[in-house]
A and B are shown apart, each in its own frame.
Chain A
Amino acid sequence: MALRQQPLDSIIQVVTPENIAFEYRLAGPFRRLPALLIDFALMAVIQTILGIVFVLSFGFVSMGLAIALGTVTGFFIKWFYGGFFETFLNGQTPGKMACGLRVLTDRGQPIDGLQAVLRNILRTADLFLGVVGLAVMTMNRRYQRLGDLVCGTIVVVEDRQWLTGVAKLDDPRCIQLAAYLPPNFVVGRTLAKALATYVERRRFFSVPRRREVAKYLAEPLLEKFGLPGDTSYDLLLCALYYRTFIADRSQDERLLAEAQAVYAQANPLAHLMQPNQPYPNQPNFNPQYPYGPPAPGPAAPPPLPQEQMAGAGSFGQGR
């Protein structure tokens, strides 16, 4: 498969010896600057501490020796701090470690000592007039400064991400609605991706926004499934997500019971407040968190707030 061009994204693909293409996010100038400042501060601190140590130890024998040692270590810290750490800490300096950055070759391999030293020596050229490195970074796709260009290295973000798994659907109604989806409907790859993207992000949206986003996918689907046109779009996508990612028909009853138990625990007074009115017509009614338990039994999907029907949209759905 040809590599996708991602001109607007700071992502590069790396093909490992295991023949897997995985992605790295490149670090831009504003992510790298704090790391650089931390390193500069650390260099100053190390130099000061070493200076004090030398004066206190060798200083009693000969002050000249202490000053000389301080000057020589100062020279090495000034020019070889980055090279040393990037070689022995696997492409990271303490500042980069703090900011979650790492230096790699432009093919995603670890760098070697020569590259580490050279790219740090050439920082002098990047800091020429203060802007040369920044200007060069903006002129290539991989945010390489001059030192990076000469050594063929890139700086990537190496943050950890928490495993989120599948999205939690805390509304029992979507399990119920899932029972009404045609069993022979196969969710294709692109549709599955769209569903996952929507459901994982929907908790950040307000209710009208959910309806607006879900409309384009849900309207044609409702038509196809023969469900009432006023079914909540959001709920339909959740039900489809549930069917695709979470459970088959055989597990529905068990999961529904669990979901209802959880729901009842979360809202203990819900059924007292609205005994026989599953969907109160309050003006600020929230279909995702209704104030009553869902209608029991095999009733048709509950009537949901009317939604404005636009023209039937088309969507690419491979059957």
Chain B
Amino acid sequence: MKVVDLLERRRQNWQELERYCDQLQGASSAPKLPPASMSRFGALYRAACADLALAHAYQLPQNTVQYLHRLVGRAHNQLYRSRRFEFKKWGDMLLYDVPQRVFNDRCVQLMFVVFWGLFILAAWLAYSKAAWPDFAEQVISPEQISAMEENFKSPIDGSQRSGDDNTVMASFYLDHNSSIGLQCFAWGLLVVPGMLVSMYNAIFLGACFGYMARPEVFDGPGGNFFHFVTAHGPFELTAIVLSAGSGLRLGLSWMMPGDLTRYDNLRKTGREMMPVMGAALVMFFMAALIEGFLSPSAAWYSVKATVAIVSSGLLAFYFLVLGFPRRLL
């Protein structure tokens, strides 16, 4: 059979398949074709695949082969569609996979040690006036110090904030802190920028805490500062450590691939670390809600301290109890 006749016979099928592709292309979520058309689409796709496979035997001209490659590609993409989020699995992932993974993850542990080590070191340097007298002024610029003192000048009694302000600030914290976390995670892939950002954050926060704890500051703005940060601190600082740690794990996965190739190890680690980042995001959201609504409110300090203790307890339960290796039980 000559190619012309063959093309004439197949042309109709191919064009019909193209029309189905066009219809399906617009369909966003559930394909809209009736069942009969769907099965017809499948049959046409298989026929086009067969034509492509036999293109050599049929001696189809190059242009037609190119056309068939494109057509089969388009139809393939409409037939095999992206899998959605598996919401049912999210609970499992967050409550089982993530704590198990974090408990054993050396990178998160390392980041925990680095972050808190630098934090405590910076806090002590900023607090003590003997070891490094103007450490606080060097890390936090004098303008920032005076701005901070200005912010926390009056006691936290909810008088300066309306409900509107609280909502705005909660959303601002959510946006700002989660973005920092996601950035730490993404930059962790490049290792050096991720480490630098996390270490800078640790030193800066530590210096703030240390400066505010100085006896002469603590009586005024310092006390108000601690009053403000107590409630949301545990969630926020844990989340920052978690996102930086999982980012570091991503970065080290291509630096030290172990038995796998760099590319394979990177893909495997990316799949594993995304849920950890998701858990960090959940913590950022909770911290933002507490920071927006509870921290600036007039609630007693004991209430805020209780919230801090309860959230620390929850985190400990999450990482230590849920994360304890099952095989050791």
CA distance A83 to B78 in the complex (A): 19
Interface readout for A10-22 with B: 1 if CB under 8 Å, 0 if not?
0000101011101
Whether A91 is near chain B, meaning CB under 8 Å from some CB there, is: yes
* Residues in A whose Cβ lies below 8 Å from that of B76: 14, 16, 22, 108
* Residues in B whose Cβ lies below 8 Å from that of A116: 82
Query: Judging by beta carbons under 8 Å apart, are A22 and B72 in contact?
Result: yes
Whether B165 is near chain A, meaning CB under 8 Å from some CB there, is: yes
Whether B85 is near chain A, meaning CB under 8 Å from some CB there, is: yes
Among the stretches B113-121, B185-193, B206-214, the one at the interface with A is B185-193
Residue among B28, B61, B182, B187 making CB contact with A166, cutoff 8 Å: B61
Interface readout for B78-119 with A: 1 if CB under 8 Å, 0 if not?
101111111000000000000000000000000000000000
Residue of B nearest to A24 (CB): B73
Residue of B nearest to A150 (CB): B270
Query: Judging by beta carbons under 8 Å apart, are B263 and A149 in contact?
Result: yes
Cβ-Cβ contact count across A and B, 8 Å cutoff: 197
Query: Judging by beta carbons under 8 Å apart, are B62 and A117 in contact?
Result: no
CA distance A165 to B4 in the complex (A): 8
Number of chain B residues whose Cβ lies closer than 8 Å to a Cβ of chain A: 73
Among the stretches B11-19, B233-241, B299-307, B317-325, the one at the interface with A is B11-19
List which A94-138 residues lie within 8 A (CB) of chain B.
Answer: 102, 104, 108-114, 116-118, 121-125, 128, 132
* Residues in B whose Cβ lies below 8 Å from that of A187: 59
Whether A62 is near chain B, meaning CB under 8 Å from some CB there, is: yes
Whether A245 is near chain B, meaning CB under 8 Å from some CB there, is: yes
Query: Judging by beta carbons under 8 Å apart, are A20 and B82 in contact?
Result: no
Query: Judging by beta carbons under 8 Å apart, are A72 and B175 in contact?
Result: yes
B227 to chain A minimum Cβ distance, whole angstroms, is 23
Whether A90 is near chain B, meaning CB under 8 Å from some CB there, is: yes
* Residues in A whose Cβ lies below 8 Å from that of B193: 128
* Residues in B whose Cβ lies below 8 Å from that of A90: 77-78, 81-82
Q: Which of B69, B185, B271 has the most CB of A within 10 A?
A: B69
CA distance A159 to B67 in the complex (A): 10
Residue among B61, B73, B187 making CB contact with A125, cutoff 8 Å: B187
CA distance A19 to B267 in the complex (A): 26
Query: Judging by beta carbons under 8 Å apart, are A113 and B186 in contact?
Result: no
B13 to chain A minimum Cβ distance, whole angstroms, is 11
* Residues in A whose Cβ lies below 8 Å from that of B62: 193, 196-197, 200
* Residues in A whose Cβ lies below 8 Å from that of B270: 118, 150-151
Interface readout for A160-190 with B: 1 if CB under 8 Å, 0 if not?
1111111100000000000000000001010
Residue among B70, B178, B269 making CB contact with A161, cutoff 8 Å: B70
List which B44-87 residues lie within 8 A (CB) of chain A.
Answer: 45-46, 49-50, 52-53, 56, 59, 61-64, 66-74, 76-78, 80-86
A22-B69, A166-B3 known; A65+B186 contact, CB < 8 A = no
Query: Judging by beta carbons under 8 Å apart, are A164 and B167 in contact?
Result: no
Query: Judging by beta carbons under 8 Å apart, are A132 and B190 in contact?
Result: yes
Residue among A24, A110, A167 making CB contact with B81, cutoff 8 Å: A110
B70 to chain A minimum Cβ distance, whole angstroms, is 5
Whether A63 is near chain B, meaning CB under 8 Å from some CB there, is: yes
Q: Which of A117, A149, A159 has the most CB of B within 10 A?
A: A149
Whether A263 is near chain B, meaning CB under 8 Å from some CB there, is: no
Whether A88 is near chain B, meaning CB under 8 Å from some CB there, is: yes
* Residues in B whose Cβ lies below 8 Å from that of A152: 263, 267
Residue of A nearest to B63 (CB): A164
CA distance A189 to B54 in the complex (A): 13
* Residues in A whose Cβ lies below 8 Å from that of B15: 163
Residue among B71, B162, B182, B271 making CB contact with A124, cutoff 8 Å: B182
A71-B172, A75-B175, A196-B61 known; A246+B4 contact, CB < 8 A = yes
CA distance A69 to B175 in the complex (A): 11
CA distance A122 to B64 in the complex (A): 39
Query: Judging by beta carbons under 8 Å apart, are B189 and A151 in contact?
Result: no
B160 to chain A minimum Cβ distance, whole angstroms, is 14
Query: Judging by beta carbons under 8 Å apart, are A165 and B7 in contact?
Result: yes
* Residues in B whose Cβ lies below 8 Å from that of A213: none
A18-B46, A158-B73 known; A196+B85 contact, CB < 8 A = no
B72 to chain A minimum Cβ distance, whole angstroms, is 5
List which A223-260 residues lie within 8 A (CB) of chain B.
Answer: 244-248
* Residues in A whose Cβ lies below 8 Å from that of B163: 62, 64
Query: Judging by beta carbons under 8 Å apart, are B84 and A87 in contact?
Result: yes
Residue of B nearest to A194 (CB): B62
Query: Judging by beta carbons under 8 Å apart, are B67 and A164 in contact?
Result: yes
Whether B174 is near chain A, meaning CB under 8 Å from some CB there, is: yes
Whether A216 is near chain B, meaning CB under 8 Å from some CB there, is: no
Whether A78 is near chain B, meaning CB under 8 Å from some CB there, is: yes
Whether B310 is near chain A, meaning CB under 8 Å from some CB there, is: no
CA distance A67 to B53 in the complex (A): 58
| 6 tightest Cβ-Cβ pairs between the two chains A and B | A64-B164, A196-B61, A68-B171, A150-B270, A124-B186, A71-B171
What are 7 A-B contacts with C-beta separation under 8 Å?
Answer: A64-B167, A109-B80, A121-B186, A124-B183, A124-B186, A164-B64, A245-B4
Given A200-B63, A244-B59, 18 more pairs with CB closer than 8 A? A22-B73, A67-B167, A70-B171, A75-B171, A79-B182, A88-B84, A90-B78, A91-B82, A110-B80, A112-B82, A112-B84, A114-B85, A150-B266, A158-B70, A163-B67, A166-B7, A197-B62, A200-B61
